[in-house]
Structure 1
Amino acid sequence: MAIRERLAELGISLPSVAAPAGSYVPAARTGSLVYTAGQVPVVDGKVVATGKVGADVTPEDAAGLARICALNALAAIDALVGLESVVRVVKVVGFVASAPGFTGQPGVINGASDVLAEIFGENGKHARSAVGVAELPLGVPVEVELIVEVA
């Protein structure tokens, strides 16, 4: 099934590419790999949540934010090379702004991992890191970056 058909079947629309908040590009290709910049939960140009997971943001809400981040990363990939060229998702790196004692980072980043598996099936399964951090840009609770292989 073509990727556009799969997105439509899932009721997923890719957002516009988020404007960089610094001196970088949203995605860069080298050889058969595309690396995205860290993507934060921005919808229509606005940050949708701030705070620490485990204090200000529930893990469940943070997982939904990680999903938004993953879709923002896919939009950056689509703008650079087209989603149709994605062969597989290689790696996801997720950062979670964590309250002291919060250790549920893997569950939060499942929000990104799960949507990638929904979209790409077996080719959406990937290696991953889920890291707790003290702060993230703009005060957001989660940030996600992708590495994908392209044809």
Structure 2
Amino acid sequence: MSALARLRDLGLTLPAVAAPAGAYIPARRSGNLVFTAGQVPFVDGKVAATGKVGAGIDAEQAYDLARICTLNALAAIDGLVGLDSVTGVVKVVGFVASDPSFTGQPGVINGASDLLGEVFGESGAHARSAVGVAVLPLDVPVEVELTVEVGG
């Protein structure tokens, strides 16, 4: 089953690719790899939540925000090369704006990893970093970037 069909089966649709807020592009291909810019939790062009995880944003909400970020990254990939050209997910980097006492960054970024597994099956298995940071652009709690391998 194609990645786009799996998304439909999950009841998900790819959003419009967010316009860059700076001097960068949403995704870039180099050889058989596509790298996305960091994607934040935009829904219908608006930030879905702001604040720090562990202080106003709980881990479950942040997990859901990581899924939104990942959908936005998948949209950037689809806009560049078509999502169904993805043969595997190589790497996920997730940033979590965290209260200093919060140490559950890996659980938050599981939102991205779990979604990629649901969409790509075994091809969604990837290397990953989950990093706690003091603040992210627009005061969002989560940012996700992807590196995927594509065919052709």
After superposition, the C-alpha distances for 1:4-63 in whole angstroms (9 at most, x for unaligned) are 221111111011101111110000000000000000000111001000000010000000
The secondary structure found in structure 2 opposite 1:103 is: coil
Alignment of 1:96-135 (within 5 A): 96-135=96-135
Q: Percent identity?
A: 74
Q: State the Cα distance separating 1:115 from its structure 2 match.
A: 0.4
Q: Are positions 1:9 and 2:9 aligned together?
A: yes
Cα distance in 1 between the residues matched to 2:127 and 2:68: 19
* Distance in 1 separating the partners of 2:118 and 2:141: 23
Q: CA deviation at 1:98?
A: 0.4
Distance 1:8 1:15 in 2: 13
Which runs of no fewer than 5 residues in structure 1 stay unpaired? none
Q: How many equivalent residue pairs? A: 151
Q: CA deviation at 1:85?
A: 0.6
2:69 paired with 1:79: no
The amino acid of 2:37's aligned partner reads A
- Counterpart secondary structure, 1:7: helix
Which 4+ runs in 1 deviate beyond 4 A? none
Q: What is the TM-score when the length of structure 2 is the normalising length?
A: 0.98
Map 1:135-146 → 2, pairs under 5 A: 135-146=135-146
Q: CA RMSD in A?
A: 0.6
Taking the aligned partners of 1:113 and 1:19, their CA distance within structure 2 comes to: 24
Specify the alignment match of 1:59 in structure 2. 59
Structure 1-normalised TM-score? 0.98
Q: Structure 1: which amino acid aligns with 2:38?
A: G
- Shift of residue 84 of structure 1? 1.0
- Paired position in structure 1 for 2:149: 149
Matched AA of 1:82: G
